[in-house]
Amino acid sequence: MGEVDVWLITDQPNVQTLRRYPHAVGNQWHLDPDTYLAVVRSEIPSYDWLHSRLGEASSTVFARRILDLGSGTGRTAQQVAMRHPGASLIGIDASDAILMHARQLLPEATFVMARLEDPLPEGPFDLVVSAFAIHHLDGPAKADLFRRVAAVLAVPGRFVMCDVVVPTHAVDHPVLLEEGVDIPSSVDEQRSWLIDAGLRATVVHAKDDLAILVGDLIAFD
């Protein structure tokens, strides 16, 4: 696969405006399940560390039912499932070809082809997780997804998301973005959309253009 230049036209001052993007085909994200892990680790050196942090943030919840949004090849689901032995896990992703790999990695889980914009699988889920997928939605679609996540969460229930964000400052080695495909939002925006969805929002990690946010659905007396 040759490299292609991708112009990223944006009014966000902290988003790099031209990237040499080795995995873009035209304007389409090309995710090769066989090389995905090596590619994402080279593009996001903290990929495994962030997944550990996401797993840790999930681990204080007693989860019987877990939902993973944008499962890809199943790495996020695997990180979370190992911390919740005995829990059932459903993962959704727009690509059935990618989900074939997730099914091989975690045969005990259920992976369903669906878009994040579609109605979510029926809850309640004690835990909803997502890594590096929600930035494919624009701002209103993220806010809408957060509302729908809150609606399928059990009480108490937790939503943990890890993703690329618009940084508050210039970043030395930003995550490569493709115009029209990667639509990150800021930590503050996403935190306020979590709150609007009725969740108690916590930023458990924010550094440069990567962040982990938690939204808790808590019981009120």
Ligand X SMILES: C[S@@+](CC[C@H](N)C(=O)[O-])C[C@H]1O[C@@H](n2cnc3c(N)ncnc32)[C@H](O)[C@@H]1O
Q: Cβ 76 to ligand X, closest distance in Å?
A: 4
The footprint of ligand X (CB under 6 A) covers 31, 70-72, 75-76, 93-95, 98, 115-117, 131-133, 136
Name the residue whose CB lies closest to ligand X. 72
Q: What are phi and psi of 142, to 5 degrees?
A: -65, -50
Closer residue to ligand X in complex, CB, 117/196: 117
Residue length of the chain: 221
Residue-by-residue DSSP string for 56-109:
HHHHTS--SEEEEES-TTSHHHHHHHTTSTT-EEEEEES-HHHHHHHHHH-TTS
| Closest to ligand X by CB, 116 or 197 | 116
Q: Which is nearer to ligand X, 31 or 171 (CB)?
A: 31
Query: Shortest distance, CB of residue 136 to ligand X, whole angstroms?
Result: 4
How far apart are CB 48 and ligand X at their closest, in Å? 10
- How are beta strands 65-69 and 28-29 bridged, if at all? unpaired
Number of Cβ atoms within 10 Å of the Cβ of 156: 13
Q: Largest Cα–Cα distance in the chain?
A: 59
Q: By C-beta, is 95 or 186 nearer to ligand X?
A: 95
CB of 219 to ligand X, least distance (A): 29
